Amino acid sequence: MTSEESTYFHIGIRLSFPPAIISGILIGMISLFWVQSLYHSLLLGAGTASTVFILVYLFALQLLKKRLEQLHDTILQTPSRFTNVNGPPDNVATDEIQRILNAAEWCKATITHELKKMDETDNYRKEFIGDISHELKTPIFSVQGYLETLQDGALEDPKVNRVFLAKAMKNVNRLIFLTNDLLEISRLETGELKPDLSVIPLNNLIHDAIDALQYKAEQRNVTLIFEEKETNAFALADRNQIRQVLVNLIENSIKYNKTDGKVHISTRYHENDRSKIVVSVRDTGIGIDPEDVKRVTERFFRVDKSRSREQGGTGLGLSIVKHILESHGEQLVIESNPGSGSIFRFTLKSADYHSDLISAWP
């Protein structure tokens, strides 16, 4: 960003005035004694003042103008990662120095903003590392405990060795889930995992997610019901990512449901906007307190840590859902009644306006 060449050099004019006036008056007064003519003294004073004015102006122009412009441009080159750099408004400056002062004010504000953002990122990173090490510690120490007990003699005891090995294995699986989810969330947060948009038949995808989770639902006596209201809903989205959103939401609705509970999954066009398809996952589960609803999409937040861990939860599922939907320009809406159930709802862009792609669907 470079400053525009201005026709006037305001500071030059301001600098030239005082010496021009003073020298004009002095020369005029001295010459009055000398030539004894007011007219000639005034003429001489005015001539001196004009000459001094021009000389000082040219001198200042030569010496200062370019450097002041360079200083202004250098200040405006303050690097910024977080702020939208537009620079200060130049039209409020009365002269070059004021322009530089405005630029310096803007630079100060930019740096303060950058430092604040960096502090926030730093705290966030520290918190994330703290959370990760805490989450990793629990399964690692469990595995260590089981292996040590087996090593100390339990291996010979057929009653416990299989049980301990199975428990150690369960914790190793937890570590695998956790590392996979961590990898996923960091790729989503750094923007590395951008959605790969294509036309996806939503109903197929929902059936697919339901099939993958049917065994889990049966284990807990939960019934999965797909209300196929829109038989031909096509969305423009990333197939794998939306599959993951569905799996995470349906899995939660099974995990945090009651025995003999139900999960209703449905798709419908938005009442006021047919370019959107609303997908909802409703359960008859334990529900979430209003205070916790705000927090469930935070990383590692779990209402009941032990229940989540018991079911192999990592506390990252909803956080991943939120990131995926945000990268699609959509949002997750949660409504919940503690004790009677929850609804997780989100919208997707309908692919109706991309009929060429739909007709090409095999």
Ligand X SMILES: Nc1ncnc2c1ncn2[C@@H]1O[C@H](COP(=O)(O)OP(=O)(O)O)[C@@H](O)[C@H]1O
Residues that bind Mg ion in the complex, under the rule CB under 5 A: 252, 317
Residue 319 contact, options ligand X, Mg ion, none, Cβ 5-8 Å cut-off depending on partner type: ligand X
User: Kind and range of the H or E element at 267?
Assistant: strand 262-269
- Amino acid (1-letter code) at residue 321: V
Query: Binding string, 249-288, against ligand X, x = CB under 6 A?
Result: ---xx--x--------------------------x-xxxx
**Pairing state between β 198-201 and 223-227:** unpaired
CB of 323 to ligand X, least distance (A): 11
CB of 252 to ligand X, least distance (A): 3
171 binds ligand X (CB under 6 A): no
Options 315, 324, 348, 350; binder of ligand X; rule CB under 6 A: 315
Residue 12 contact, options Mg ion, ligand X, none, Cβ 5-8 Å cut-off depending on partner type: none
CB of 256 to Mg ion, least distance (A): 8
- Of 332, 300, 323, nearest to 238 by C-alpha is 323
187: which DSSP letter?
H
Q: Cα(183)–Cα(179) distance, rounded to whole angstroms? A: 6
Residue 177 contact, options Mg ion, ligand X, none, Cβ 5-8 Å cut-off depending on partner type: none
Residue 154 contact, options Mg ion, ligand X, none, Cβ 5-8 Å cut-off depending on partner type: none
Residue 286 contact, options Mg ion, ligand X, none, Cβ 5-8 Å cut-off depending on partner type: ligand X
Buried b (16+ CB within 10 A) or exposed e, 315-354: bbbbbbbbbbbeebebebebebeeeebbebbbbbbbbbeb
193: which DSSP letter?
S
- 31 vs 248 by CB, closer to ligand X: 248
Buried b (16+ CB within 10 A) or exposed e, 17-48: eeebeebbeebbeebbeeeeeeeebeebbeeb
314 binds ligand X (CB under 6 A): yes
Q: In the window 214-253, what residues touch ligand X (CB under 6 A)?
A: 248, 252-253
CB of 115 to ligand X, least distance (A): 32
Yes or no: say if 361 and 201 are a contact pair by the CB < 8 Å rule.
yes
65: which DSSP letter?
I
- 302 vs 328 by CB, closer to Mg ion: 302
Tell me the angle at which helices 66-76 and 96-151 cross, rounded to the nearest 10 degrees.
30
CB of 143 to Mg ion, least distance (A): 22
Residue 31 contact, options Mg ion, ligand X, none, Cβ 5-8 Å cut-off depending on partner type: none
Q: In the window 335-354, what residues touch ligand X (CB under 6 A)?
A: 342
Q: Cα(45)–Cα(187) distance, rounded to whole angstroms? A: 77
Which positions lie near ligand X, rule CB under 6 A? 248, 252-253, 256, 283, 285-288, 296, 301-304, 308, 313-319, 342
